[in-house]
Amino acid sequence: MITVAHLTKRYGRHTAVDDVSFRCEPGTVTGFLGPNGAGKSTTMRMVCGLTPPSGGGATIAGRPYRELPNPGREVGVLLDASAQHAGRTGREALTMAAATMGVDRRQVATKLDLVGLNEVAAKRRLRAYSLGMRQRLGLAHALLGDPRVLILDEPANGLDPEGIFWMRGLLRDFADRGGTVLLSSHLLREVEAVADRLVVIGGGRIVAQGDKAELLAGGGTLVRARDGVTLRGALERAGLPATEGTEGLLVHADAEAVGQAAADAGVALTELRAAGGGGLEQLFLTLTAGASTREAVR
Q: Cα dihedral sign for 28, 206, 16, 158?
A: positive
When binding is defined by CB under 8 A, the residue of 14, 25, 36, 86 that contacts other proteins is 86
Choose the stretch contacting other proteins; rule: CB under 8 A; options: 18-26, 94-102, 154-162, 274-282: 94-102
Name which of residues 27 to 56 contact other proteins (CB under 8 A).
Answer: 41, 45, 48-53, 55-56
Q: Mask of contacts with other proteins, 225-254, x by CB under 8 A? A: ------------------------------
Spatial distance between the Cα atoms of 205 and 133, rounded to a whole number of angstroms: 32
DSSP string, 54-104: SEEEEEETTB-GGG-SSGGGTEEEES-TT-S-TTSBHHHHHHHHHHHHT--
**115 contributes a contact to other proteins by CB under 8 A:** no
The CA angle 266-271-276, to the nearest 5 degrees, is 135
Beta bridge partners of 179: none
Of 92-100, 193-201, 209-217, 260-268, the segment contacting other proteins by CB under 8 A is 92-100
Binder of other proteins out of 14, 25, 36, 63 (CB under 8 A): 63
Q: CB under 8 A: which stretch of 144-152, 206-214, 256-264, 288-296 binds other proteins?
A: 144-152
Q: In what order do the strands lie in the sheet with 55-60?
A: 14-24, 2-11, 55-60
Q: Which is nearer to other proteins, 70 or 270 (CB)?
A: 70
Which residue, 68 or 114, is less far from other proteins as judged by CB? 68
Within 249-288, the residues that bind other proteins by CB under 8 A are: none
Selected from 20, 29, 77, 262, the binder of other proteins by CB under 8 A is 77
Q: Does 100 bind other proteins (CB under 8 A)?
A: yes
58 vs 235 by CB, closer to other proteins: 58
Helix (H, G, I), strand (E, B) or coil at 262: helix
Which of 62, 136, 142 is CA-nearest to residue 103? 142
Among 66, 105, 189, 237, binds other proteins (CB under 8 A): 66
Q: Which residues pair with 258 in a beta bridge?
A: none
Task: Name which of 191, 217, 167 is nearest 29 in CA terms.
Answer: 191
Which residue type sits at 137? L
Other beta carbons within 10 Å of 56: 17
Q: Does 105 bind other proteins (CB under 8 A)?
A: no
Q: What is the spatial order of strands in the sheet that 75-78 belongs to? A: 75-78, 149-152, 180-185, 29-33, 197-202, 205-211
User: Residue 5, interface with other proteins (CB under 8 A)?
Assistant: yes
1 interacts with other proteins by CB under 8 A: no
- Binding residues (CB under 8 A) for other proteins: these are 5-6, 41, 45, 48-53, 55-59, 62-74, 77, 79-80, 82-88, 92, 96-97, 99-103, 141, 145-146, 148
